[in-house]
Structure 1
Amino acid sequence: MEKSLAGIAWCKGNPVHYYLLTEELENELKLYGVSVSYLGETAQTRGLTLSYQGAMRLLDLLRRGTVTPVTACDVVMDWLLDQD
C-alpha cells in the first residue's frame, strides 16, 4: 500500500494531514482509500473506490471541512451513500 500526502488543513493551530491510500491489485487496477491524521490520532479507510478522481474529491471534501479522525468515518460513510 502506498500512502501519499494529499492536503493539509489547520484545526486549532495544529495541522490535519489528509492522505491518499493506493493499493495495486493483481490485474493492474488500483484501489483507493483515505487516511486522516491529527494530534497523533489516525483514521483510515482502505479500498473505497477504483476512481482516483473520486478519492481525490473525497479528500478535498475532508480537507475543506477540516474533518479530523474523530468524525472521518461518518463523513466517509455519508460520501459512500451519495455514490449511488
Structure 2
Amino acid sequence: TCYIPPCPPLSQDYAHPPSAPFHALVSSRSRSDPDLVLLSLRGDIRFWDSITSGLAGGGSFESVNLELGEGEYTSGLLRVD
C-alpha cells in the first residue's frame, strides 16, 4: 500500500524540479508516531502533528509559506535539534 499525503504543489519554473517535495519526520514527545513536514521548491511548508494523519489523507495540517523572492527557491530541508 502506498499513501500520498496532499503535498505542496510542484513548480514548473525550474529546469529540473525534484520529483517529490523535501520531507522530514520529527519525533514527538507525546506520541509514538512521528510528525511529518513537507517543503516545496517555492517555500510552501505543510506540517502534520502525526504521520498517521498525513498518511490517512492529511485531513488536518498546518501550512505556511516562506515568501521567497523572485528567482529564489528552496534547495533542501535540514533537521536541526
Whether TM exceeds 0.5 here: the answer is: no
TM-score normalised by L of structure 2:
0.44
Task: Give TM-score scaled by structure 1 length.
Answer: 0.43
